[in-house]
Amino acid sequence: MKPRRTTSPARPRPTPRDVVGADPGPAFEITFDGRSVAALPGQSVAAALWAAGILAWRTTRGGGRPRGAFCGIGQCHDCLATVNGIPNRRACLLPARPGDAVTTQEGAGRADLAV
Amino acid sequence: MPTSPSDPHRDASGEHAVRSGAGVFDLVVIGAGPAGLAGAVAAGELGLRTALVDAAELTGGQFYRGPSPALGARRPEALHHAWSAYADLRERLRHCPAVSHLPGHHVWSVVRDPGHADRWTVHALTGPDGTDRAPVRLAARGLLIAAGAVERHLPFPGWTLPGVVGAGGAQAMLKSGLVLPGRRIVVAGSGPLLLAAATSLTAAGADVPALVEATGYLGYARHPGALAANPGKAAEAVTHGGALLRHRVPLYARSAVTAAHGRQRVEAVTVARLDRRWRPVPGTARRIACDAVAVGHGLIPQLDLVTTLGCAVRPTADGTHAVATDRSLATSVPTVWAAGETRGIGGAAVALAEGELAGLAAGARLRGAAVPPARTARLRRRIARLRSFADAMAAVHAPGPGWPEWLTDDTEVCRCEEVTADRVREAAADLGARDTRTVKLLTRAGMGWCQGRICATAVACLATRYGASDAGPAPDRRPLAAPVPLAALAELPAESGPKTAEPT
Ligand SMILES: Cc1cc2nc3c(=O)[nH]c(=O)nc-3n(C[C@H](O)[C@H](O)[C@H](O)COP(=O)(O)OP(=O)(O)OC[C@H]3O[C@@H](n4cnc5c(N)ncnc54)[C@H](O)[C@@H]3O)c2cc1C
Ligand code: FES
């Protein structure tokens, strides 16, 4: 366990959009707990929240602890959010739509999944 | 390539569509990753009426996961290797009228059609997250299961903090949504996916203050034959290595993130050296500041569907299970084939070759199609070579038995049900649970939303460690391959299958 880096050489910091040469349509607004968040067409709800620096949008049923996306591919269900009043939506799968109101899902949301 | 085989037929209630009017497919391919895509194209080009079904909106699976077209990426290949193989398959799919691509279809069950012993009924939920009110049934004479893998996770204190994400998850979110979980991302765990993740995260502008790998990459040197036979794989490693050097990513080999720290989100990690058994070496811990962690300990074949179908499985070099097949990739259940990561973790190249071989085998079996023996032989050779390399890597990166030593009593093992290591220990050691299943019943570990997909490895490993005897990580039998609203279950016909049109 040797290597240590102390300073980072100045380099222009690319963005994910630069790397793939993305030219999306105009951003639109969704809200998270009432706060305005910009989303790009084609992004999932989770991606739009990450882009805004938001990493948690659910609290657990037992300890009330914050959670957000973990597996990124629809498997873990940690990213469940309440979207437009409907709980238990997997934010990593759900495309963001203009005007979507995302709210922190507390606890179970609603127990309607047969698992 | 039509996007749906016919107009959905609405039932009396007008509520949910059943694709019964579509008739019977020769082959339903489940999973449109490299394996499923290659399989559907091969079968379709032989004239098989094929449905290519995937939960995702786009083909490509995990490896060729790309941004939604609406993001207007001019160079989606910039975050990928070997994009041309994918572009070629997509083109062939477009020109193959025999294949219907059904995106946004989450298959939750596959059963034998009670009315026709030689047919399968595939049940799927629809919509981006499977919540559209239009469950679908497909009838098929054969199935190709190409469902891929899920990431293997080993818990550590703090791994449930926001900002700690799967390494594959970070890749997936980056490739599909062009986003990062933070700006200073520690990449940790074990396996070749970590190199790929660190490379793309740095390319996309993140700093990676540490790449923490539990084994030494020198382990590959113990398998010189497999390395020499796979120059492409060595070149891939060199590309990743070069990119990481250029970005000055420090590699901590034989080390692990043994804790993540922070209050509302991760702010730092502890990295410690590991001994050969993956036990943290006292006195070697150091703290590294970060605002995200991308962590994963390799991949596990996704076996939900094959185990409910009753297909035989085999143990793998890295302690998991994969579906067993013959050399034509037929499973133990007639007319069910498997390809790609479902057959064992092997990477995209082997998935492409196996998908093609399985598609050809299905064509020969279901339609009597003539397949040039040279083509089959070439694929078999390629698969054998790539699999030997994959097995060598799997053996190198198999988790050591000492990892539970970095757990604390209150480390959550099951994320969904918030079950701590202490409660798993209590169930196995004090309450006398003799097998993993009893541990799960006593603690609810692995019985939450994800049905143990994330924690099964860890729970089985801890249960044995603390006294359960048969905890051998036999693949879980999950009755449902995707979460299903109770309403959809209630609407299932009690007895017979859907009315299907005559075989084509
Ligand atoms: C999260 C994650 C990220 C990864 N990222 C990389 C990477 O960046 N680089 C790399 O080299 N390798 C990566 N891999 C490894 C990857 O698995 C292989 O390289 C390759 O994609 C395997 O191809 P496949 O066709 O076997 O499976 P996959 O590509 O995984 O394709 C399987 C497909 O099946 C679909 N599916 C599964 N179950 C169902 C169901 N019940 N209903 C409907 N559809 C279903 C999935 O949506 C998926 O599209 C990643 C793996 C994971 C799990
Ligand atoms: S992040 Fe795992 S299901 Fe969405």
pLDDT tens by residue, B367-381: 999 999 999 999 999
**For residues B201-213, average pLDDT:** 94
pLDDT at position B284 is: 96
Are B250 and A61 a contacting pair at CB < 8 A? Answer: no
**Reported ipTM exceeds the 0.90 cut:** no
Distance from the A18 Cα atom to the nearest Cα atom in chain B, whole angstroms: 8
SS3 B364: helix
Q: Which one of A75, A102, A105 makes the best mutation probe of the B interface by having the most chain B beta carbons within 10 Å?
A: A75
- For domain A28-106, which architecture applies? Roll (3.10)
The helix or strand, by DSSP H or E, that contains position A20, with its residue range, turns out to be helix A16-20
User: Is pLDDT above 50 for B494?
Assistant: no
Ligand nearest to the CA of A70: 2
CB of B268 closer than 8 Å to CB of B288: yes
Q: How far is the C-alpha of B160 from the C-alpha of B418, rounded, in Å?
A: 10
- Among the partner residues B150, B163, B284, nearest to A75 by beta-carbon distance: B150
**CB of B291 closer than 8 Å to CB of B265:** yes
Residue-level pLDDT at B504: 33
Alpha-carbon distance B19 to B124, whole Å? Answer: 10
Q: Which residues of B235-273 are buried (b: 16+ CB within 10 A; e: fewer)?
A: ebbeebeebbeebebbbbbbbbbbbbebeebbbbbbbbb
- Is residue B8's pLDDT more than 50? no
pLDDT band at B485 (very low <50, low <70, confident <90, very high): low
Q: What is the CA radius of gyration of chain B?
A: 23
Smallest CA-to-CA distance from B39 within B339, B290, B480 is with B339
Whether B193 has a pLDDT exceeding 60, the answer reads yes
**Using N-to-C axis directions, what is the helix angle for B167-177 and B193-203, rounded to 10°?**
40
Chain B interface disruption, residue of A23, A50, A102, most B CBs within 10 A: A50
> Which residue has 């020109």 as its token pair?
B95
Query: Exposed, middle or buried, B286 (CB in 10 Å: 0-12/13-18/19+)?
Result: middle
pLDDT confidence of residue B297: 96
Choose the weakest-confidence range: A15-19, B203-207, B267-271, B433-437. B433-437
Backbone torsion region of residue B26, taken as left when φ is above 0, otherwise alpha when ψ lies between -120 and 50, otherwise beta: alpha
**What residues does ligand 2 touch, defined as CB less than 6 Å away?**
A 69-72, 74-79, 90, 92
Q: What residue owns the CA closest to ligand 1's atom 22? A: B348
8 Å CB contact between B32 and B101: yes
Beta carbons of A73 and B265 less than 8 Å apart: no
Q: How far apart are CA B433 and CA B450, in angstroms?
A: 23
Helices (H) and strands (E) in chain B, counts: 13, 23
Task: Mention every residue, 6+ apart, whose C-beta is less than 8 A from residue A101.
Answer: A30, A31, A83, A84, A85
What is the rounded CA–CA span in Å between residue B341 and residue B219? 22
Mean pLDDT of all residues belonging to chain B: 86
B140-180 pLDDT tens trace: 999 999 999 999 999 999 999 999 999 999 999 999 999 99
Q: What is the mean pLDDT of residues B376-403?
A: 92
Ligand nearest the Cα atom of residue B55 = 1
Record: contact B71-A75, CB cut-off 8 A: no
Least confident span in A72-86, B84-98, B214-228:
B214-228
Token readout for B481 is: 């391959």
pLDDT at B426: 86
Residue B224 has pLDDT above 90, yes or no: no
Report the relative pairing of strands B149-151 and B164-166 from DSSP bridges.
Answer: unpaired
Q: How confident is the model at residue B21 (pLDDT cuts 50, 70, 90)?
A: very low
Q: Do A24 and B418 touch (CB under 8 A)?
A: no
Proximal ligand: closest to the CA of B301: 1
Cα diameter, chain A: 52
B284-341 pLDDT per residue, tens: 999 999 999 999 999 999 999 999 999 999 999 888 899 999 999 999 999 999 999 9
CB pairs under 8 A between A and B: 208
Q: What is the pLDDT of residue A113?
A: 45
Mutate to test the interface with B, among A7, A57, A67, A73 (most CBs of B within 10 A): A73
pLDDT digits (tens, 9 = 90+) for B458-484: 988 888 888 777 644 455 566 566 666
Contacts of B189 (CB under 8 A, 6+ apart): B154, B167, B212, B213, B214, B256, B257, B295, B296, B297, B298
Please name each of the domains of chain B with its CATH number: 8-150+300-371 (3.50.50.60), 153-297 (3.50.50.60), 407-465 (1.10.10.1100)
Both tokens assigned to A82: 């309440």
Q: Which of B299-308, B389-398, B410-419 has the lowest mean pLDDT?
A: B389-398
For residue B131, list chain A residues with Cβ-Cβ distance below 8 A. Answer: 89
Q: What percent of chain A has pLDDT over 90?
A: 73
pLDDT at A115: 37
- Which atom of ligand 2 is nearest the CA belonging to A75? 3
Contact at CB, A19 and B203, closer than 8 angstroms: yes
For residue B20, is pLDDT > 70?
no
Kindly state the average pLDDT of the residues A71-81: 95
